[in-house]
Structure 1
Amino acid sequence: MSGSELYEKFMALHTREEGLVMPNAWDGVSALILADAGFEAIGTSSAALAAALGRIDGRHSVTRDEHLDHAQLLGRITGLPVNGDFEDGYGVTAADVAVTVDSAVAHGLAGIGIEDTTGNPDDPIRDFDDAVDRVRSAVAAAKRRIVVTARTDNFIQGRPDLDDTIRRLTAFAEVGADVLYAPFPPDLESLVAIVTAVAPTPVNVLISPADQVLTVSELQKAGVKRISLGPALYTHAMGALERAAVALKAGDIASATTGISFDRVGELLARKP
């Protein structure tokens, strides 16, 4: 499938009435489980990938090539469109972001996310003009071969400024971003304000607004077109592992060895896209 065909296929999932739920995988088996459950697309999670490698997310601790190879693997074994959660685009300059987008196309990704983050915890959000320029560069490189999601991290970086968030998202849409994303708006009212302000550009939400976890149906009624989970499924699985470790340390082997069988893992690995 050509890049333009993959773009059209993936974008169509965002523009249909019900949108899509796009869970995030962190390794081959997790991706296969999500595919087997019937999801039509999956995302990577920079946080889950970094954690799986023993690193901290958001500090440029995972390289562009590592993330590209990871995303390519998930797409190859599942046959699903994969959206790459590529932090700030893996580049110092806007031109570097364009290189990342070209590389993502070459690796067969269906979508790529570009944040306005810096990787610097002391100054985590880029200036407005820099952030917009990087999205503009990503869109120009994409050439409708890959869906570009432009994201502002104001809310999760301690900047609860709804007006600036909408200003950034609107500007991202104006320079051609296909999907917009501001993780964890404070409440449903703020989420609706974002969706309304940037319409008709599709909006992704990470799980829900910050104050309560809503259902898929409730988010769809609010106008959300894509729902992602970030590292939530990874931490859910790690929670099960932590409980098993505690049980095993207490001598309870039976409780520590529940879960799917390794035969089931083998069945998933033998699955053909």
Structure 2
Amino acid sequence: MPDSESENAREFAALHHGDTPLLLPNAWDHASAALLADAGFRAVGTTSLGVAAAAGLSDGARATRAETLRIAKILGADHRHLVSIDAEDGYSDDPAEVADYARELAEAGAVGINLEDGRPGGTLTDPAVHAAKIAAVKEAAPELFVNARTDTYWLDRQREETPARLRAYRDAGADGVFVPGVSDPAQISGLANGFELPLNVLYRPGGPNIAELGDLGVRRVSLGSLLFRVAIGAALEAATAIRDGRTAGQSAPSYADVQRLSG
């Protein structure tokens, strides 16, 4: 990895150990990522739902391998931000195939990858299999920040296995752990303080804010598909408002503003 890319990887890892949690907003294309970078977000993630839905594909079904790599190449070439890629479960049960894909993401300029143990169909991957994927990725692309996600809370399955799964992923070489769906402060604190790795949680509207999550020990807060859902919701709201004779769009970026994002 060239020195500049190594520096980016080290910077991204360091963002997980600051005084406040890393707030990682999730983009789905170049414009959304560039807009976030221009607003001061040094790092952005991708949302697998946003990438999939924008391409007319299903999320969590191993349907977006090529599209995710395409987005990674576009975002990785833009040096305004550091980018972490949501790669579902690596799109394979074969650790070698997942490692090859992770290497492609790193070569595209990504500094991080999310790997989830949720499977197509709503079940959970055997933790030993997921740990093998993590180990293979760290061997193939050692500077890539592996955020090991367990979907025990997200899918509401086998929650009692959460600590053991996280330990297995830590021991396999993960750089951080991600438990989307956990919302109880006591449970968050227990997970945050039960491992040596930075804990990532998903922001929930109406739930603890960034400062409160930081006080619980959380080191990274992702927005997941929230921004994408807000964006398409706002588009629908504007279209229906105009259809119904109401005013809309006053706060939208101008044509010139969007053109500058790709300048």
1:257 to 1:19, Cα distance in 2 relative to 1, 3 A? closer
Amino acid corresponding to residue 159 of structure 1 in structure 2: R
Report whether the alignment pairs 1:46 with 2:48. Answer: yes
2:64 alignment partner, one of 62, 72, 91: 62
- Give the drift of 1:120: 2.7
What is the aligned-residue identity percentage?
A: 34
Q: What secondary structure, in the 3-state scheme, does the structure 1 residue paired with 2:253 have? A: coil
Return the TM-score normalized by structure 2.
0.93
- CA distance in structure 2 between the aligned counterparts of 1:203 and 1:85, rounded to whole angstroms: 16
Structure 1 counterpart SS, 2:151? coil
Where does 1:1-273 land on structure 2 (aligned, <5 Å)?
Answer: 1-2=2-3, 3-63=5-65, 65-121=66-122, 124-143=123-142, 145-159=143-157, 161=159, 163-198=160-195, 200-208=196-204, 212-252=206-246, 254-255=247-248, 259-270=252-263
* Distance in 1 between residues matched to 2:257 and 2:172, nearest whole Å: 46
Distance 1:258 1:39 in 2: 20
| Structure 1 unaligned blocks of 5 or more | none
Q: Is the 8 A contact 1:152 1:168 kept in 2?
A: yes
Q: Which moved more, 1:258-267 or 1:101-110?
A: 258-267
TM-score by length of 1: 0.89
CA separation in 2, counterparts of 1:33 and 1:113? 22
- Quote the Cα distance in structure 2 between the aligned partners of 1:129 and 1:160: 15
The DSSP-based 3-state class of the residue aligned with 1:77 is: coil
Deviation at 1:18, TM superposition (A): 1.9
Whether the aligned pair in 2 keeps the contact of 1:4 and 1:146 (CA below 8 Å) is no
| CA RMSD, Structure 1 to Structure 2 (Å) | 1.8
Q: CA shift at 1:76, angstroms?
A: 2.0
TM superposition shift of 1:243: 0.9
Instruction: Please report how far the alpha carbon of residue 79 of structure 1 lies from its aligned counterpart in structure 2 after TM superposition.
Output: 2.6
Could you tell me which amino acid in structure 2 is paired with residue 140 of structure 1?
Answer: E
1:128 is displaced (CA, Å) by 2.2
Report if aligned partners of 1:6, 1:146 keep a CA contact under 8 Å in 2: no
| Distance of 2:39 and 2:114 partners within structure 1 | 24
Matched residue count: 261
SS at match of 1:214: coil
Shift of 1:57: 0.6
Q: Does the Cα contact within 8 Å between 2:128 and 2:168 map onto a contact in 1? A: no
Matching residue's letter, 2:256: D
Deviation at 1:78, TM superposition (A): 4.7
Deviation of 1:257 (Å): 6.5
